[in-house]
Amino acid sequence: TCVCLCEGCDDATKEAVAEAMMPVAEEAFNAAKASGCEAGMLFFTATETSDVVYQLRMSCELGEPTGVPQLVILDIPDSGAYYVFDGENISTENVSAFIEDYDEERLERRELQDDEEEGEGDGQ
């Protein structure tokens, strides 16, 4: 799952991110459809703060929202693996390259953090 967290960005940036991700998402969907398989990669943009988005930020150690979009790939079935895009320009080309690097295992693998494991949980 490829997620762009841009809830701290202005509206123009949010729109640009969505426009950049759409061709990549459509290509992945069409390729999966043509092969008769489920889509291998799902695409989301987080444009507003929510409990889910907050938890994702904390689990991926991304910190608070800023004016710069952050792109991550989540591979939960792989022991909670995730990968963070090392850049600020979320263009169609960069999203495609990021996914290609993921597919070719060229990205730094990280594991989702659990507040309880880190001793930071509030016991709820």
CATH of residue 31:
3.40.30.10
What would the pLDDT profile of 15-50 be if each residue is shown by its tens digit? 999 999 999 999 988 988 888 887 678 999 999 999
Q: 94 and 67 in contact (C-beta within 8 Å)? A: no
Confidence (pTM): 0.86
**In 10 A of CB 14, how many CB atoms?**
19
Is 124 part of a structural domain of the chain? no
Mean per-residue pLDDT for 2-27? 96
What would the pLDDT profile of 69-94 be if each residue is shown by its tens digit? 999 999 988 999 999 999 989 999 99
70-74, 109-113, 119-123: the lowest-pLDDT one = 119-123
Residue from 74, 76, 73, 80 nearest 98 by CA: 73
Total number of domains in the chain: 1
Is 14 part of a structural domain of the chain? yes
Is 109 part of a structural domain of the chain? yes
Predicted confidence band at 115 (pLDDT cuts at 50, 70, 90)? low
**Domain residue limits at 106:** 2-118
77 vs 105, more confident: 105
What is the Cα–Cα distance from 37 to 49, expressed in whole angstroms? 32
Is 102 part of a structural domain of the chain? yes
Is 13 part of a structural domain of the chain? yes
**In 10 A of CB 19, how many CB atoms?**
12
